[in-house]
A = this chain, B = another copy of it.
């Protein structure tokens, strides 16, 4: 019999719902939170509530942003607003920004089309993307969904939807990751790397 007081059990269950946190990690986290001083534990609870109430989706790119107006990236005059990089999740925006290479705008779909999980185009921010492209001023849409089956299908689906707008639609390059070894690359990646070879 594992003895857990009900209030502790409920906290363990909350932690266990988080992605990548199993039952045992959840127990460890819940016990850690219990061992915190009262004000620190209250600070944690407040941070959840405040983030949830303060953070909304940017009306332009649909990324998480504070307040009602457009997010800093959409509002920035330094960013090229005529190029839209379409990603599945807010964390993909973080990854793209980390490269310091991209200076355009984003569009966050909040998921990918996945019939297995009952996610269709209507569950994603597709309408908003079409409205942005339809409003003109967009020259290029870069599909940056993950290179897996669902990400591919979503990119394909969107590129067809965007055809009538006569906008340039591109896809991130596939290839060998920088710093990795040829011998560890899988067949599909090698094939794509060969297909996408460029003159030196």
A98 to B6, CA, bound (A): 18
Q: Give, as a whole number of angstroms, the nearest-CB distance from A118 to chain B.
A: 16
A47 at the interface (CB under 8 A from B): yes
Task: Evaluate contact between B34 and A42: CB separation under 8 angstroms.
Answer: no
A8 to B100, CA, bound (A): 21
Q: How many residues of A contact B (CB 8 A)?
A: 57
Q: Give, as a whole number of angstroms, the nearest-CB distance from A80 to chain B.
A: 15
Chain A, interface SS category = helix
Task: Evaluate contact between A18 and B29: CB separation under 8 angstroms.
Answer: yes
Binds B, one of A20-28, A143-151, A153-161: A20-28
Task: Evaluate contact between A73 and B3: CB separation under 8 angstroms.
Answer: yes
A36 to B138, CA, bound (A): 32
A173 at the interface (CB under 8 A from B): no
Q: Give, as a whole number of angstroms, the nearest-CB distance from A130 to chain B.
A: 23
Binds B, one of A49-57, A119-127, A182-190, A191-199: A49-57
